[in-house]
């Protein structure tokens, strides 16, 4: 059983702030400060170039990959960390499409995050005019998995509404149709239990700065199923994915297994922060986390629906069909979120009218949910959002 009081204490949150945006950027794990300082002063400062060997920098992508792998049900030695999620999407997609040479269609849905779709478009523009990115409504994706499809590129949890796809069912259907699956776990890793090995996913990718709390710009991760690990080609064939990078061969020979999914020099300082963030997860039971996340989300929905008649639930009502976030629609949602932020309740806004709130049991309790409902109710009742400065759009929403 996880004691969430202990994990709560592991994070720094500014005094008085209620942070409902851990689905976008997790808060600072206190121990990351000392860990990063040590990486800079003791490792970089004292060891300089020797640090690659002496401080284990070169092994960090695989070591951190395994720490994340335990949270997403991956086999040991099949997850590696590096680059950003958009890059990892491209890599997984390129590798996956090579595994189905007779097929030409990448299938995704309109609930996917645009960067995933943009990366697919970019890949297709290189593959040639025979290839197609096919988009269907999220509810139609299962029916659209046919033996015409090469690869599915699906994000398990919708970034706007929190709607959750049935990974086991979609993967099984894909496998029966000879389709390779690429799962994006951006809003799943650290949000709910994931069982990559159990559902027999082919590829998975995700980021570490959302629910995993690795910090702004923390590197992404990629999973390749053991059955593909030595055949999948990484497309982005950088030197650190080479079989022997320090032989400096002129030609590329992919490394063994997941190592080939590495590209270039890993971000050591950022990985030090991620390493510290992953310490917090050591004793977390993902089932307990899920139960608590559902309890918090249900409490928030009930509170908002009882006090804010102008807001309409945009997330599925069934908690089993949601991730760890809850969204409401409101035409002036942008202004309402700005007003909330001015009252130290941090949520965010996604166009056109989605007010989004993430529930992360590691550092949020029922008291936070109740306080945020009270503040939101007051803002809505008194139209505190209805001022020109709250309607002025900033660059990052």
Ligand X SMILES: *Cc1c(COP(=O)(O)O)cnc(C)c1O
> CA-to-CA distance for 245 and 252, rounded, in angstroms?
9
* 104 or 210: CB nearest ligand X: 210
Q: How far is the CB of 42 from ligand X (least distance, A)?
A: 29
* 91 or 155: CB nearest ligand X: 155
* Residue 187 found at the interface with ligand X (CB under 6 A): yes
* 85 or 369: CB nearest ligand X: 85
- Active site positions, annotated: 113, 184, 209-210, 356
Residue of the chain from 63, 86, 298, 384 that contacts ligand X (CB under 6 A): 86
Q: How far is the CB of 48 from ligand X (least distance, A)?
A: 29
* Residue 85 found at the interface with ligand X (CB under 6 A): yes
Residue 244 structure tokens: 């022997």
Residue of the chain from 31, 84, 195, 303 that contacts ligand X (CB under 6 A): 84
Distance of CA 144 to the CA centre of its chain: 25
* 93 or 207: CB nearest ligand X: 207
* Residue 270 found at the interface with ligand X (CB under 6 A): no
* Residue 116 found at the interface with ligand X (CB under 6 A): yes
* 155 or 297: CB nearest ligand X: 155
* Residues 361 to 390 in contact with ligand X, rule: CB under 6 A: none
Segment contacting ligand X by CB under 6 A, of 5-13, 179-187, 263-271, 283-291: 179-187
Residue 13 structure tokens: 């949150």
Residue of the chain from 13, 70, 115, 365 that contacts ligand X (CB under 6 A): 115
Q: How far is the CB of 282 from ligand X (least distance, A)?
A: 25
Q: How far is the CB of 23 from ligand X (least distance, A)?
A: 9
Q: How far is the CB of 11 from ligand X (least distance, A)?
A: 20
Residue of the chain from 109, 184, 275, 332 that contacts ligand X (CB under 6 A): 184
* Residue 159 found at the interface with ligand X (CB under 6 A): yes
| Exposed/middle/buried for residue 269 (C-beta within 10 Å: 0-12, 13-18, 19+) | middle
* Residue 186 found at the interface with ligand X (CB under 6 A): yes
* Residues 195 to 214 in contact with ligand X, rule: CB under 6 A: 207
> CA-to-CA distance for 135 and 132, rounded, in angstroms?
10
Residues that bind ligand X (CB under 6 A): 84-86, 113, 115-116, 155, 159, 184, 186-187, 207, 220
């Amino acid at each position: 059983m996880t004691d969430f009081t202990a994990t709560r204490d592991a994070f720094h949150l500014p005094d008085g702030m209620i942070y409902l945006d851990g689905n976008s950027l997790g808060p600072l794990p206190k121990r990351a400060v000392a860990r990063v300082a040590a990486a800079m002063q003791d490792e970089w400062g004292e060891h300089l170039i020797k640090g690659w060997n002496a401080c284990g920098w070169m092994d960090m992508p695989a070591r951190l990959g395994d720490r994340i792998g335990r949270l997403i049900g991956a086999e040991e030695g099949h997850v590696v960390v590096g680059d950003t999620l958009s890059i990892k999407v491209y890599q997984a997609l390129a590798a996956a499409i090579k595994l189905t040479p007779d097929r030409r269609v990448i299938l995704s849905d309109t609930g996917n995050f645009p960067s995933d779709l943009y990366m697919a478009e970019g890949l297709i523009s290189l593959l040639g005019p025979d290839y197609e990115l096919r988009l269907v409504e999220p509810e139609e994706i299962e029916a659209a998995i046919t033996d015409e499809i090469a690869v599915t590129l699906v994000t398990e949890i919708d970034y706007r509404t929190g709607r959750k796809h049935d990974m086991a069912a979609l993967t099984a259907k894909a496998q029966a149709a000879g389709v390779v699956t690429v799962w994006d776990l951006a809003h799943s890793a650290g949000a709910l239990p994931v069982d990559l090995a159990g559902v027999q996913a082919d590829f998975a990718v995700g980021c570490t700065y959302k629910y995993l709390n690795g910090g702004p710009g923390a590197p992404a991760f990629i999973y390749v199923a053991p059955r593909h690990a030595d055949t999948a080609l990484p497309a982005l064939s950088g030197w650190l994915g080479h079989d022997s990078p320090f032989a400096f061969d002129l030609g590329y020979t992919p490394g063994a297994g997941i190592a080939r999914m590495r590209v270039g020099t890993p971000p050591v300082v950022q990985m030090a922060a991620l390493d510290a963030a992953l310490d917090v997860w050591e004793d977390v039971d993902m089932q307990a986390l899920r139960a608590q996340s559902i309890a918090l989300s249900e409490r928030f929905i009930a509170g908002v629906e009882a006090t804010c008649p102008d807001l309409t639930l945009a997330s599925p009502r069934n908690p089993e069909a949601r991730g760890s976030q809850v969204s409401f629609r409101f035409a002036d949602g942008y202004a309402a979120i700005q007003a909330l932020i001015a009252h130290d309740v941090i949520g965010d806004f996604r166009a056109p009218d989605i007010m989004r709130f993430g529930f992360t049991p590691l550092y949020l309790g029922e008291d936070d949910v109740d306080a945020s409902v009270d503040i939101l109710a007051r803002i809505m009742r008194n139209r505190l959002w209805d001022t020109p400065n709250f309607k002025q759009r900033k660059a990052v929403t």
